[in-house]
Structure 1
Amino acid sequence: MNQNRSIRMQVLCALFAAVTAVCSQITIPIQPVPITLGTFAVLMAGGFLGKRYGLLAIVIYLLLGMAGVPVFSMMRAGFSVIAGPSGGFIIGFAPMAFVVGLVSEKLGYSFKNMMAATIAGTAVCYIMGLAWFMFLTGTGIWASMVMCMFPFLPGDFAKILLASFLVSKYRRRLVGEL
């Protein structure tokens, strides 16, 4: 990878970290875990930037939040957010971006392949988030799914469709071929 390409990808990492922070503020504050547009930004980061740079962008976002910059939903920050009920979902953003990038790099960037990648990434985030929520609260799997997954499914499906469409259509224009 030439130096210009490397600098471009680093700038895009910073951009997607910022986009994730902004999208995380677009929130429907339900309890115990808010609905945010942050997952949409994570899907886009993984799809546009690939597994390596998509993961890096989200790790930057997570480190900013843990360092006290109010990038998590509802302008929250710090380890207390990660230790709370939504912490598993927030930490799940990193493997979510990685899985989306990995699957799309392996399968290609067609709409159908991006659907598979974004569904796989979303599933990873749900698994991590539900596991943490169950551990933290002692709630069973069904009750956890009722509280922390089922209300999110319609919105996540819309995010999956939109992210898959945008990445399949505009990825080459934004980052070119890796």
Structure 2
Amino acid sequence: MSKQTAVKEMVLCALFVALTVVLSQIAIPVQPVPVNLATLSVMLAGGVLGAKNGAVSQAVYVLMGAIGLPVFSSFSGGIGIVAGPTGGYIIGYIAAAWLIGLLASRCGGKVWQLALIMAAGEALCYLLGTAWFMFSTGTGLLESLLLCVVPFLLGDAAKIAVASLLVPALNRALGLRKKVGAA
């Protein structure tokens, strides 16, 4: 990899960290999980940066918040947020970006394929987040799903639609690989 390519990758990762920070603040503060646009950035990071760099961008975001920078929803931060009941969803950003990047690199970049891939990434984030929520609160599966997943399905479907349309356009605009998110 050339030095120019490495610098471009670092800059793009940093841009997606910043995008996640900004979109995390566009929120409706409901309990126990705030509604925000962060997962839109997660989907875009995976689809544009690929598995490795998409995951790296989200890992940097999580680490920034864990050390106390106010990057999470409502300008919160600290290890208590990551270790708290909703921390599994935040950790799930890393896994979701990785999965989306991995699968997107193997598809032809059609919008419907990207939508399915992003739904899979969102499902992985739901799985990790809900499992941690259940573990940390002692709440049962049905109640956890009703609190932490069901209220978000419609909004997340809209984010999936937007992201699956934006990824091919962003890849073209940024002059990235023909196959979306190729490693």
Report the TM-score, using the length of structure 1 for normalisation. Answer: 0.96
Secondary structure of the residue aligned to 1:106 is: coil
Matches of 2:58 and 2:175 in 1, distance apart? 17
CA-CA distance at 1:83 after TM superposition = 1.6
CA-CA distance at 1:86 after TM superposition = 1.1
Structure 1 stretches of 4+ with a deviation exceeding 3 A read none
Matches of 1:107 and 1:114 in 2, distance apart? 8
Matches of 1:175 and 1:52 in 2, distance apart? 18
Query: What is the alpha-carbon root mean square deviation over aligned residues?
Result: 1.1
Deviations 1:25-60 (A, max 9, x none): 111111111111001111110011000110111111
How many residue pairs were aligned? 178
Aligned-partner residue type, residue 48 of structure 2: F
The equivalent residue for 1:68 is 68
Matches of 1:62 and 1:41 in 2, distance apart? 13
Report the TM-score, using the length of structure 2 for normalisation. Answer: 0.94
Aligned-partner residue type, residue 165 of structure 2: F
Q: Using the aligned pairs only, state the percent identity.
A: 45
Runs of 5+ consecutive residues of structure 1 not aligned to the other structure:
none
Matches of 1:117 and 1:173 in 2, distance apart? 21
The equivalent residue for 1:162 is 162
CA-CA distance at 1:139 after TM superposition = 1.0
Runs of 5+ consecutive residues of structure 2 not aligned to the other structure:
none
Aligned-partner residue type, residue 153 of structure 1: L
Deviations 1:113-162 (A, max 9, x none): 21121011000000000000100111111110100000000000000000
Matches of 2:9 and 2:45 in 1, distance apart? 11
The equivalent residue for 1:82 is 82
